[in-house]
Structure 1
Amino acid sequence: MSYQPIEPFPRQTFPTQVHFDRSELSVIMSLYGRMVAAGEWRDYGMSSLRELAVFAVFRRTAEHPLYRIEKRPKLRHKQGQYAVVGTDGQILKRGKDLKAVLRVLERKLIRSVE
């Protein structure tokens, strides 16, 4: 019988690339569809990188993104793994719940009716 030492703090393994899963994309695409219908957004792009996944939103295709929705799994126990980043790189909202983080963008849909 061979002895296997027990590792007191098992290492967390992260995938080689970070992706949005189906439920996360469903929430993001729901917001995206409403913003397209309102005429605010026109295009999007997705990137899956080693440490983060990015969903970038554009007003026109050839521009810099208006907003970036980022997922960083390594921050899930600290500030939260989801963040909305503005054009200038400022973090508008960060948290553990994607729907709560995306509420900062839903405010753009509320307009006063004259």
Structure 2
Amino acid sequence: MSYQSPSPSFAAPDQVAFHRTELGVILSLYGRMVAAGEWRDYGISSLREVAVFSVFRRTAEHPLYRIEKRPKLRCKQGQYAVIGMDGQILKRGADLRQVLRVLERKLIRAVE
């Protein structure tokens, strides 16, 4: 009797990543913040339990904000979170657009 591994669609992913539609939403906000002169660089990390989109004012410093996706929290607090430079969670939820609104408010203040 031979053992067959489960098909790739049923296997647990090795790492968490942002989907193309999620990246589209994030990069749309990123582009507006770059145009406003607030942000300059970004980095993306895909780890085992979390995907992170980090935003920088300058390349060689700590990120201003981290946008995290943690699928394990989907049914509890929501899988998306925006985290500030000091590690404080600014907004958390299940809807990425809703969570990113905390950063869009900062864009409105920057433009005024």
Structure-1-length-normalised TM-score: 0.86
1:84 aligned counterpart, secondary structure: strand
Of the three residues 65, 84, 87, the one matched with 1:86 is: 84
How many residues are aligned here? 102
The one-letter code sitting in structure 2 at the alignment partner of 1:61 is T
CA gap 1:26/1:88 in 2 versus in 1, 3 angstroms:
same
Give the structure with higher Rg (CA): 1
Aligned to 2:61: 63
**Distance in structure 2 (CA, Å) of the matches to 1:93 and 1:62:** 25
Counterpart check, 1:48 vs 2:71: no
Aligned to 2:29: 31
Q: CA RMSD in A?
A: 1.3
**Distance in structure 1 (CA, Å) of the matches to 2:78 and 2:12:** 16
Counterpart check, 1:96 vs 2:94: yes
Aligned to 1:7: none
Consecutive unaligned residues in structure 2, runs of 5 or more = 1-9
After superposing on structure 2, the runs of 4+ consecutive aligned residues of structure 1 that deviate more than 4 Å are none
Deviation track 1:21-43 (CA, whole Å, cap 9, x = no partner) reads: 00000000000000000000000
**1:14 offset after TM fit, Å?**
3.2
% of aligned pairs identical? 80
2:67 aligned counterpart, secondary structure: strand
Higher helix share: 2
Structure-2-length-normalised TM-score: 0.87
